[in-house]
Amino acid sequence: MPGRAVERDREISDAGLPLRPDWNADGQRKYPRSKLLLSSADRGWMTLSAELRSHSAGRIVSIEQQNVEVVIALAATDGPVTRIGAGRQEQTRPDPGTVWLVPTGVGPEEIVISKPMPKTLHLFLPIEQFDNLADQYNLSKSLVRSVQYVGGLNDDLIRQVGISVLNELSEQTAASRMVAEMSSLMLATRLIQNYVDRDLIDRIAGGPARLEHVRMRRVLDYIDQHLEDDISISELAQVAHLSEFHFARVFATTMGMPPQRYVSQRRLAAAKKMIGVGKLPLSEIAFRSGFSSQASFTRAFRRATNMTPGEFRLHCR
């Protein structure tokens, strides 16, 4: 099993989304004095890095960062936040759900936090994610790299993606890396649609509404055959012969749920069978089901069945 994980990392690296040694370095460099509450550093995510931080009042000066940053305020704060960067200055009231964007290459950037911000979610997207979308839709890479430096946004889709990522940080599911991959894809697409050039919307948003039976059957069979592997959105899109964004959209329309939720449900169903047979230890079943720890597996299993894996095993006897 560990060998498969290493092999999967190499595949993603070859696909243009490398697992870089400094993948989590942007947040550490930019916010060294803030308190890190939750992090994706130990999740093996390769298309998204996520941090939940608590910021005290003060001044932050950062150098140029390598990845696109999306910041979401999650708790109410009395005082404004002032940012100076990319040749502009802005002052924003950080209400819950307020979004700030920081494109790659911005620096130096100065941030003045007037009152403590107890919960702020920081999402970092690799520029390769935007380059891949540019390749899929025959767009200029220089264009998709031109995300606006803007704050005070009220974007419900970005907020919903942030909540999904936060839930995954708090309570791991059986499709953790797929959640990260899908979140990164949705965020990058949203930024291109709304915060680069409005003319790109039709080119990105178009496509088939449903996935026909033959291709859907092929995708579902592939999922069942690779439940113990590190399935990715890009793999499933290749099986369906669609772009990643269009695949995710038509899969959700056809199945009534996003692909990561479907995979999570199938893995938990397979876990039930393995627990019922009783031959494997629960720690091995947790690993085969896509969890980073037995504790995370136990919590997810209890949420789905109202029983712990151990209780379910006793029930099956």
Q: What is the pTM of this model?
A: 0.80
Fold of 2-200: Jelly Rolls (2.60.120)
Separation of alpha carbons 103 and 85, rounded Å: 10
Please say if the pLDDT value at position 310 is more than 50: yes
Chain position carrying tokens 């009395």: 78
Residue 144's pLDDT is what? 64
Give the CATH number of domain 214-317: 1.10.10.60
Please say if the pLDDT value at position 11 is more than 80: no
Please say if the pLDDT value at position 155 is more than 60: yes
Beta bridge partners of 71: 100, 122
Average pLDDT over the chain, rounded to whole? 85
Query: What is the share, in percent, of the chain residues with pLDDT greater than 70?
Result: 86
For the chain, the structural domain boundaries read 2-200, 214-317
The distance in angstroms from the start CA to the end CA of the chain is 28
User: What DSSP assignment string belongs to the chain?
Assistant: -HHHHHHHHHHHHHTT----TTTTHHHHHH-TTSEEEEESTTTT-SS-EEEEEEE-SEEEEE---SSEEEEEE-S--SS-EEEEETTEEEEE---TT-EEEE-TT--SEEEEESS-EEEEEEEEE-HHHHHHHHHHTT--HHHHT----EEEE--HHHHHHHHHHHHHHHS--TTHHHHHHHHHHHHHHHHHHHHT-GGGHHHHH-S-SS--HHHHHHHHHHHHHTTTS---HHHHHHHHTS-HHHHHHHHHHHHSS-HHHHHHHHHHHHHHHHHHH--S-HHHHHHHTT-SSHHHHHHHHHHHHSS-HHHHHHHH-
Q: Is the peptide bond before 108 cis (omega within 30 degrees of 0)?
A: yes
- Where does the pLDDT of residue 2 fall: very low under 50, low under 70, confident under 90, or very high at 90 and above? very low
Residue, of 128 and 202, whose pLDDT is higher: 128
* Greatest extent of the chain over all pairs of C-alpha atoms, in Å: 68
Separation of alpha carbons 312 and 300, rounded Å: 13
91 torsion bin: left (phi>0), alpha (psi -120 to 50), beta (else): beta
- Where does the pLDDT of residue 152 fall: very low under 50, low under 70, confident under 90, or very high at 90 and above? very high
Please say if the pLDDT value at position 283 is more than 90: yes
Residue, of 45 and 139, whose pLDDT is higher: 45
Residue 143's pLDDT is what? 66
Token pair listed for 240: 């369906």
| pLDDT single digits (tens) 191-244 | 988 888 555 545 555 555 566 778 888 999 999 999 999 899 989 999 998 888
Residue, of 154 and 292, whose pLDDT is higher: 154
Residue range 76-91: average pLDDT? 91
Looking only at the bridges linking them, the beta strands covering 68-73 and 99-102 are antiparallel
Is residue 60 within 8 A of residue 139, CB to CB? The reply is no
